Amino acid sequence: MPKFSAEHLRGSPSLTLIVASFSARAYAHALVEAGHQVVTLDAFADADTVRIAKHTYQFRLHNFQVDVADFKRVFLTLELSQFDGFLYGSCFDALPELLDWVASKIRVIGNDAAVMRIAKGFDFFKRLDALNICHPSVQKTMPVNATQWLGKRLGGTGGLHVSEVINQAQLLSSMQQVDYYQEKINGIPISMLFIANGEIAQGLGFNRQLLAPSDRWPYRYGGAVSAYDLPHAAKLSFEVAAQELTQQLGLRGVNSLDAILSIDKLWILELNPRLSATFSLYPNAITAHLKSCAGELVDLPKVQGAKAHYILYADQPVEIAADFKWPDGVFDLPQPLLGENTVQIAEDSPICTVEARAGNAELAHAAVLKKAQQLQLQLGMLKST
């Protein structure tokens, strides 16, 4: 299948595209806003995704990963000749072979499976070492002082692949798969979203990552805040790492780097060579993604103020009336099964995403947390004081 090129954009400014992700709503919304038609494949088929997309198809999950057989079944129901390409988010990190399979059927707009294999493999850290990019120590065997280390699963997403390590017995009892151990660095979790055209990386912004810990998942992703103010040295470290990795791997489109900021030192944790959760914090980023995937340098979208999003999870089973009036600024809305009067949300499952804007990151962070708390009260998840 030939690569996506500038001719595809010039020949047809309005594209018909497939977008696949665990949650595809933000990408679908951005594409439709930019004048494209979208069919989505995701695990939730939320109410607003159904409204936005031309068609929405839901695939099953198995142990919080894509059910490969079901994904292929859904995918093969599509008339692929009607589409100009395929975009993807967080569903192939652990399944580059499935991305290879998709690429044999349709043009993939973004990094290929070979890049995903490198970024999500243990040898990625050897590449960081060769490029003199600072990262926490990693090893495949259980450390002697395990309390200073985290257990991680290769190809995991959303923090569900990260576990605390006390000792081998505790690790086994937690039922968490561990592929490698990473030294625990105390600091602030942050990320950089950037655009790459295969040779040059252009920064979109720096983000404060928010956690939504639970007993089972202490490092679960809870959201992010854009326009986070970093020390100059940390910004430079991010920019150098993005540029070095772009040149070595030929990165294209939207990518993100996750890191820990400890005082003023940056420790790179991982590369996500795909559309990521923080994409939705930046306006007009989808056009930049398409152009850069075609190898073009782009004019970066102008960003004013800060935006935050926060994922509201159910800390116990939650029942929501089908006619519940969701407030403005709330997305990824669950919808009831046909004929049902309520929506049942299982414990530890996401309910929705809350968004807020403000003049700076600190104010946006406070605003989104306040908004999430108000919504919890409305849903009966908290008692008013």
DSSP letter string, 94-152: T-HHHHHHHHTTS-B-S--HHHHHHHTSTTHHHHHHHTT-----EESSPPSSGGGEEEE
- Would residue 301 count as lying in a domain? no
Q: Are residues 168 and 276 in the same domain?
A: yes
354-363 CB burial, b ≥16 within 10 A, e <16: bbbbbeebeb
- Spatial contact of 270 and 118, defined as CB atoms under 8 Å apart: no
For residue 349, pLDDT beyond 60: yes
For residue 384, pLDDT beyond 80: no
Total domain count, the chain? 3
For residue 169, pLDDT beyond 70: no
Q: Residue 12 has what pLDDT?
A: 64
Q: What is the DSSP string of 217-270?
A: -TT-EEEEESS----HHHHHHHHHHHHHHHHHHT-EEEEEEEEEEETTEEEEEE
Q: At residue 368, what is the residue type?
A: V
pLDDT tens for each residue of 7-44: 666 666 799 999 999 999 999 999 999 999 999 999 99
- Spatial contact of 55 and 75, defined as CB atoms under 8 Å apart: no
- Spatial contact of 333 and 319, defined as CB atoms under 8 Å apart: no
Q: Are residues 247 and 323 in the same domain?
A: no
Last residue of a domain, one of 87, 109, 131: 109
Pairing of strands 350-358, 330-331: antiparallel
- Would residue 385 count as lying in a domain? no
**Average confidence (pLDDT) over 323-350:** 93
How far CA 25 is from CA of 32, 52, 300, in Å, comes to: 10, 8, 22
Last residue of a domain, one of 109, 138, 171: 109
Q: Quickly count: other Cβ atoms within 10 Å of residue 47's Cβ.
A: 19
Q: Are residues 180 and 326 in the same domain?
A: no
Q: Residue 147 has what pLDDT?
A: 83
**Average confidence (pLDDT) over 121-143:** 97
Calpha distance 260→271 (Å, rounded) = 13
Q: Are residues 322 and 364 in the same domain?
A: yes
Q: Are residues 177 and 323 in the same domain?
A: no
Calpha distance 294→175 (Å, rounded) = 43
**Average confidence (pLDDT) over 339-367:** 95
Q: Are residues 342 and 248 in the same domain?
A: no
**Average confidence (pLDDT) over 204-208:** 97
Q: Residue 69 has what pLDDT?
A: 98
pLDDT tens for each residue of 257-269: 999 999 989 999 9
**Strand-by-strand arrangement of the 16-20 sheet:** 55-58, 37-42, 16-20, 85-88
- DSSP classification of residue 168: H
Give the global pTM.
Answer: 0.94
For residue 4, pLDDT beyond 80: no
Domain hosting residue 313, numbered range: 306-378
pLDDT tens for each residue of 51-95: 999 999 999 998 889 999 999 999 999 999 999 999 999 999 999
Q: Are residues 188 and 240 in the same domain?
A: yes
pLDDT tens for each residue of 207-224: 999 999 998 899 999 999
Rounded to the nearest 10°, the torsion over CA 85, 96, 274, 268 is -170
- Spatial contact of 162 and 174, defined as CB atoms under 8 Å apart: no
CATH of the domain at 50: 3.40.50.20
Q: Residue 149 has what pLDDT?
A: 94
pLDDT band for 170, please (50, 70, 90 cuts). Answer: low
Q: What is the number of helices (H) and of strands (E) in the chain?
A: 11, 20
**Average confidence (pLDDT) over 294-304:** 86
181-193 CB burial, b ≥16 within 10 A, e <16: bbeebeeebbbbb
Higher-pLDDT residue of 135 and 1 is 135
Half-sphere exposure of 226 (CA within 13 A, CB side): 26
Q: Are residues 138 and 251 in the same domain?
A: yes
* Burial (0-12, 13-18, 19+ Cβ within 10 Å), 4: buried
Q: Residue 1 has what pLDDT?
A: 65
- Would residue 383 count as lying in a domain? no
> Mean pLDDT over all residues of the chain?
93
Q: Residue 7 has what pLDDT?
A: 67
Q: Are residues 103 and 138 in the same domain?
A: no
Last residue of a domain, one of 79, 109, 139: 109
- Would residue 300 count as lying in a domain? no
Long-range contacts of 55-61 (CB under 8 A, 24+ apart): 61/22
| Structure-block tokens of residue 259 | 């890191």
- Would residue 249 count as lying in a domain? yes
Q: Are residues 132 and 53 in the same domain?
A: no
Q: Are residues 11 and 138 in the same domain?
A: no
Q: Which of 282, 118, 124 is CA-nearest to residue 195? A: 282
Higher-pLDDT residue of 4 and 235 is 235
- Would residue 79 count as lying in a domain? yes
**Average confidence (pLDDT) over 97-102:** 98
- Would residue 371 count as lying in a domain? yes
Q: What are phi and psi of 141, to 5 degrees?
A: -100, 155
CATH of the domain at 174: 3.30.470.20
- Please name the helix (run of DSSP H) or strand (run of DSSP E) that holds residue 368, with its range, or none: helix 361-378
Q: Are residues 220 and 128 in the same domain?
A: yes
Least confident of 155-169, 295-309, 360-374: 155-169
- Would residue 158 count as lying in a domain? yes
pLDDT band for 173, please (50, 70, 90 cuts). Answer: very low
Q: Residue 284 has what pLDDT?
A: 84
